[in-house]
Structures are given as C-alpha cells and as structure tokens.
Amino acid sequence: MLKFPEFALTCGLALLIAAPVEAAGDPEKGAVVFKKCAACHQVGDGAKNRIGPHLNELIGRTAGGLDGFKYSKAMQDAGAGGMVWDTETLDAYLESPRTAVKGTRMAFPGLKDADDRADAIAYLAEYSKQASAPAETKTAAAPAESPAPSTTVETAPGTAANQPIPTHGVLHLGRMATPDEVAAWDIDVRPDGVGLPAGKGTVSQGEVLFTERCASCHGDFGEGAGRWPVLAGGRDTLKNDRPEKTIGSYWPYLSTVYDYVRRAMPYGDARSLNDNEVYAITAYMLYLNDVVTDEAFELSRANFSDVRLPNEANFTDDTRKQEAHYAVPAEPCMRDCKADVTITSRARVLNVTPDGGNDDAATKVD
C-alpha cells in the first residue's frame, strides 16, 4: 500500500486546465467555490503541495505530472495514457473524480453544478500562463426589447402566499417533523449496541474501503496524512506531554467509532457509506489498533458489544451531581463569594505564560 496518497484532491479540485483555454466561468465566484478545496490544495503566490498538489500553472499539465508530488498509480497511469488537463477533462474530473479517473483516491464526491465547475476552472485559469485572455462571465445577452414590468403579482396555487397563517407555538414557525425525517436523524448508537443497524463487514473488506475513501487524509495505516487526525497507535502515550489520542489509545467505546464514521465520514461526502461499509471500516480500524488480529474477523450487530477498547476502564461515570454544592438547590454565587482570596499558583510557574524577557515585570501582574 502507498503511504502517500496521490492525491490530487480530497477537496474536490485538483489538477487542472489545459492548453490555451478560454474559461467561460466567473473567477470571483470560482474563488468562493475553491474554498471547498483549500483544505487540500493551494494556488497563487507561495502555493505548496499539501494533501493534494498545488494548482499553479496547470493548463496543459499532464495528469499526475507535477514534479515532487507523489500521485496514485491510477493518476500516473492516466497521464501515461495521454490525459492532459484542459477545460473538458477538468470539467469531467470535477463532476465525478472516481468516474473520470478510476482508482483515484480523491474522496471529494465532485461538483455537480455545471456553473460551479465553470467558475472554479475560470478561477484556476488565472494562475496559469497558458490561459488565454480574461475569463468570460456567464451573462446572457439582454433581449432587444424588454416588456414593461408588470405591476400585477400572480401567485401560484399552493405557494406561501396562499397558505393559512400558522397559529401553533409562540412564534408560529415551523411544523412537526415527519416520521421519515426523524428516522433520518435518529441514528445514534449507544455503547451497549442499542441503535446499531443490521449489517456486517470484515477487516479485509474494510481495508479496501479505507484505502479508497479514508487514506487520503488518514494514511493507509491510520498514521495520518499531513495534519489530519491519527487513528492508530499511541498506546501508553496518554501521560506524555503530547499524548497521541487514537481509537486504540484513548477512545472508550467502539460505538463512538461506528457512529462518527456513519454520521460524518468521509470528509466532504458524509452519509455516503452504507451500513455494511461502516461495519467493515470499523472492523479495519480495530485491526489497525491491534484490538483484533484476524483479517477474516467480521464485525456485526451480533458481536459488536463484545468488543472492548483498551482505554474503556479509564473512563468513569460523571458524579458531579453528587458533590456537596449540588446537594441543596440554590442559586450559585456570582460575586463576593469569599471574604479573602488566596493566590495558590501563578501562570508563570505553570509554564503557560509567554516569555516576555522580563521576569521581574512578569511577577507584578497581580
């Protein structure tokens, strides 16, 4: 497995444009669209490779051809096959990366709106010398003669203007959620397994999915790419100055892993995994953290609650309600609560005060 994801684009924009091109989008709007890509790509003065390659001088560039960046084999093969970035190839790639380059590790699902793609291409074209004249904007020509504006407002049946004024609640806003809407949000999973859907997945299946959908950010082995979170390792580091809080070293319950992956991952494409795929990825993360050691291990609702993470015993129930100041219901004291105030420690002693170069002055702050 490669440890350096190709990758041109967890954020969705990547490699780009080609030979003399005249972009038909709006560069200013494209700058806004590009924010979806900025976590992985840089463009402009001082741009550097990050999780994806920098996007300067991309018109006419061969796919997978930027020196100094480690691309996936799929992207290198695309370039070897003659793929060059121009408005056509870029538009197709941005619409559906995994369709345009099969095997790419791009986790971003794509820009489905054609105008967004055109705007993004126009924005990126401004950072390539091969781009031709300034980009045209998508402005339709005005008709030769415009009819005088009508002063009559027509309302279609069923629109808000025809609806009865609501009277429920204090502000008369909203409506009751439907059962289907509630079910779509009610997907949390408890540590005892309540809330788990039916399904199953093996470590081996999870490895394939993790490589395709997760490794561009988290590394092939959960080691983290760039500054993205580390998911594996970190055992016996919790007492260190900089502990590595991973699934194997810190997390208490497997249900948290399943719930988070199901609800929020992959980044930029949340809720795209089906239940079997979430089980498989969760099983693979157990394998990466040596919680299970058999590649044939299958995780399912039936055995889910049997799995225990190493740090579970170090989490305890919240007992704050049992403390003395909660015993008698009363308003909390907010001022003049003690007659005398004693300083028990100083920030400087705790090494959290920035060094100002004047220790005498630093001791006089109180």
Cα–Cα distance list, 39 to 56, 237, 267 (Å): 16, 28, 11
CB count, 10 Å around CB of 47? Answer: 15
pLDDT of residue 15: 40
- Cα angle, residue 184 at apex, residues 265 and 37 outer, rounded to 5°: 30
pLDDT of residue 365: 33
The CA distance from 225 to 228, in Å, is: 6
Give the CATH H-level superfamily of domain 27-125.
Cytochrome c-like domain (1.10.760.10)
- Please check whether residue 137 is in contact with residue 26, taking contact to mean a CB–CB distance below 8 angstroms: yes
Instruction: Find which of 158-167, 230-239, 321-330 is predicted with most confidence, using mean pLDDT.
Output: 230-239
- Asked if the domains 27-125 and 200-314 are classified in one and the same CATH topology, the answer is yes
The CA distance from 321 to 326, in Å, is: 6
The CA distance from 35 to 27, in Å, is: 13
pLDDT at 158 over 60: no
The CA distance from 9 to 98, in Å, is: 11
200-314 fold: Cytochrome Bc1 Complex; Chain D, domain 2 (1.10.760)
- Please check whether residue 280 is in contact with residue 261, taking contact to mean a CB–CB distance below 8 angstroms: no
Q: What's the one-letter identity of residue 311?
A: N
Torsion angle of C-alpha atoms 54, 57, 59, 64, degrees rounded to 10: -40
pLDDT of residue 84: 92
pLDDT of residue 283: 98
pLDDT at 18 over 50: no
The CA distance from 18 to 60, in Å, is: 4
Torsion sign over Cα 302, 303, 305, 306: positive
Give residue-wise pLDDT tens across range 82-114: 999 988 999 999 988 888 998 887 767 788 889
Give residue limits of the domains in the chain.
27-125, 200-314
